[in-house]
């Protein structure tokens, strides 16, 4: 035991204890020796006295240092109770670091989630647009298929309009099916007209002419026109805006339907 006491007194544990630099285990060891060994208690008191003297020297001006030191030596020893420094526990630091890491990670995950949601919304919109386009294309294909079926129907008759000298480049095709009573016309080429004029298609009946509609080259697709049961001929004429009569129209193409009746 004397050896342990000797080793203790030769160590710096007392100084560290007074300065508050010992760990919890080291503090318990120092307090054990002070409580159980007079030599350790005496050494502790002497260190406290010396620390008090040094503290007083640092607290006065230089000209009075010597007098204050002598006065301090004559006074009864006073023990300066130093509170050990409380260092921040390692688990508190770890908890703080974990909290910061958790917050940063949560923010990053939130940002990533927001970006993914935005990308998902874009994908959903694109899929919706794609489905809409597919539906429109399917609808167009259905219409085209139906039109092709009408054109390929053996009961459908094909009539080609060729323009006269007034419209040499005019070419239009009519498809008439007397069985299902449908008429369609396909505009291929129409010579350009002044703004106030347009092309009209007419059906000639036994006692009158019937206007079946306006032809426009910009509408280059099969166009449904009214089916006329007793039509003798079809003709294309140049009409004037605001004039729906047949009197002043100029005929540029005609086909006869008499042979097909």
- CATH number of the domain bearing residue 212: 2.60.40
Write out the H or E segment, with its range, that includes residue 254.
strand 250-256
Distance CA 83, CA 99 (A): 31
* Same domain, residue pair 17 and 68: yes
* Same domain, residue pair 143 and 204: no
Distance CA 96, CA 93 (A): 5
* Same domain, residue pair 174 and 249: yes
**Domain-terminating residue out of 127, 152, 177:** 152
* Same domain, residue pair 23 and 52: yes
pLDDT tens digits along 79-110: 545 445 445 566 567 677 777 777 778 878 88
Model pLDDT, residue 167: 85
Assess if residue 116 is contained within a domain: yes
**Domain-terminating residue out of 74, 107, 124:** 74
* Same domain, residue pair 129 and 221: no
Diameter of the chain measured on Cα atoms: 150
**Domain-terminating residue out of 128, 152, 176:** 152
* Same domain, residue pair 70 and 95: no
Assess if residue 81 is contained within a domain: no
Model pLDDT, residue 219: 64
* Same domain, residue pair 210 and 141: no
How far from the centroid of its chain's Cα atoms is residue 194's Cα?
52
Model pLDDT, residue 92: 62
Distance CA 142, CA 153 (A): 16
* Same domain, residue pair 45 and 95: no
Assess if residue 82 is contained within a domain: no
* Same domain, residue pair 9 and 70: yes
Number of domains forming the structure of the chain: 3
How far from the centroid of its chain's Cα atoms is residue 78's Cα?
74
Assess if residue 56 is contained within a domain: yes
Which residues of the chain, if any, have pLDDT below 70? 1, 54-92, 94, 140-141, 143-152, 219-220, 242-248, 259-261
Half-sphere exposure of 171 (CA within 13 A, CB side): 3
The side-by-side arrangement of strands in the sheet containing 197-204 is: 209-215, 197-204, 233-240, 250-256
Model pLDDT, residue 62: 45
* Same domain, residue pair 207 and 133: no
Q: Are 14 and 44 in contact (CB under 8 A)?
A: yes
* Same domain, residue pair 142 and 197: no
Distance CA 188, CA 195 (A): 20
* Same domain, residue pair 19 and 96: no
Domain range for residue 173?
157-260
Distance CA 223, CA 183 (A): 9
Kindly state the tokens that stand for 6: 């000797």
Assess if residue 239 is contained within a domain: yes
Distance CA 255, CA 197 (A): 22
- Specify the 3-state DSSP secondary structure of 83: coil
Q: Burial of 56 by CB count in 10 Å (0-12 exposed, 13-18 middle, 19+ buried)?
A: middle
């Amino acid at each position: 035991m004397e050896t342990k006491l000797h080793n203790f007194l030769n160590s710096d544990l007392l100084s560290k204890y007074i300065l508050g630099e010992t760990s919890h285990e080291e503090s318990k060891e120092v307090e054990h020796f002070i409580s159980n060994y007079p030599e350790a208690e005496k050494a502790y008191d002497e260190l406290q006295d010396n620390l008090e003297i040094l503290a007083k020297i640092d607290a006065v001006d230089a000209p009075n240092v010597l007098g204050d030191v002598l006065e301090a030596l004559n006074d009864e020893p006073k023990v300066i109770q130093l509170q050990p420094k409380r260092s921040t526990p390692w688990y508190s630091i770890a908890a703080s670091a974990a909290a910061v890491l958790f917050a940063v990670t949560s923010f990053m995950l939130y940002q990533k989630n927001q970006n993914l949601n935005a990308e998902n919304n874009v994908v959903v919109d694109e899929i919706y647009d794609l489905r809409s386009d597919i539906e429109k294309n399917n609808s167009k294909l259905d219409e085209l298929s139906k039109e092709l079926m009408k054109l390929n129907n053996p009961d459908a008759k094909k009539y080609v309009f060729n323009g006269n000298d007034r419209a040499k480049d005019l070419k239009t095709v009519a498809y008439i099916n007397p069985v299902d009573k449908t008429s369609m016309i396909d505009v291929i080429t129409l010579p350009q007209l002044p703004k106030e004029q347009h092309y009209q298609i007419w059906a000639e009946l036994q006692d009158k002419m019937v206007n079946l509609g306006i032809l426009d080259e910009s509408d280059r697709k099969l166009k449904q026109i009214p089916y006329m049961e007793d039509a003798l001929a079809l003709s294309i004429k140049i009409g004037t805006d605001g004039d729906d009569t047949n009197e002043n129209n100029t005929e540029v193409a005609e086909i006869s339907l008499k042979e097909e009746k």
